[in-house]
Amino acid sequence: MEEAEMAGGSRRTVDSGRGVAWWSESWTLFMKNPGMWLVFGLIVLVGFIVLNFVPLIGGLAAAVLAQVVVGGWVLCARKLDGGESIDVNNLLDIFKDKEKLTPLLVLGVLAAVGSLVIGVVVAVMGGGALFGLMAGAGVRSTGGMMAGAVLGMLAVLVGLAMGFVLGMALWFAAALVTFRGLTPVDALKTSWSASLANVIPFLVYGLIWIVAAVVASIPFMLGWLLLAPLTMLGIYVSYKDIFEGAPTIILAPGQQ
């Protein structure tokens, strides 16, 4: 394992097996108070679903508030990990801390802008692909239809690549703002650099997440009530591992 100095402190590079360990450590932390984590997950999921039904501003508000929720969640994870108890009020504590709330809101705005840019790029490329397919079909041109199909595939690949970059920049960002007081821009840069340095364990973690997401979606999306909390806890345990070099979780009595 290697260590490097970054804005706000040092981070380390971990081996690929940590991508699996983050899941087991998230589960251990989840089992310290599963009922409360499930309540947290239900509150967040219902809240975002309701916001997305609000015309015009609902989706934007959800995108901006997402980073605040992550900040509140990792604070709760820190409290439980340290042996303290948590309740619903702790999830809302982040909204009372203006020193953390303001930069997290700014981070949310930057995340929303990034998502919007990706959406626009994919839409423009996808529109061009659809035009090419329709034009090719209209004149019965195989070449035109193939060009449209290639452009459509390229739009998907570009969207995935841009989404991957944005995801890496955001993964640790809220935790870095919350725990280390980094500015939103510095948090994005630091998260990107740390994620890139640990891309292999993140790919391992991500592949497991994709399988878990498919399984969670099968029973009427009910599995997301579990997967959403575990994903949030995954942010915390991976942050702790890479930035604090302490992957272990304090076990509750009876879990030794």
* pTM for this predicted structure: 0.84
> Any idea which residue has 């679903």 for tokens?
49
Q: Which residues of 180-203 are buried (b: 16+ CB within 10 A; e: fewer)?
A: bebebebbbbbbbbbbebbeebbe
Specify the 3-state DSSP secondary structure of 2: strand
Return d(Cα 46, Cα 225) in angstroms, integer: 10
- Predicted local confidence at residue 9, as pLDDT: 57
Tokens of 7: 């804005």
Which band of pLDDT confidence, cut at 50, 70 and 90, is reported for residue 249? Answer: very low
Q: What count of other Cβ atoms lies within 10 Å of the Cβ of residue 26? A: 24
pLDDT confidence bin for 254, thresholds 50/70/90: very low
- The confidence score (pLDDT) of residue 126 equals 66
Domain locations in the chain as residue ranges: 14-244
| Residue given tokens 């930035």 in the structure block | 243
Query: How many whole angstroms separate alpha carbon 186 and alpha carbon 177?
Result: 9
Report whether pLDDT(187) > 50. yes
Rounded distance, CA 32 to CA 18, Å? 21
Residue-averaged pLDDT of the chain:
84
| pLDDT tier for residue 160 given thresholds of 50, 70 and 90 | confident
Of 37-51, 79-93, 118-132, which range is least confident? 118-132
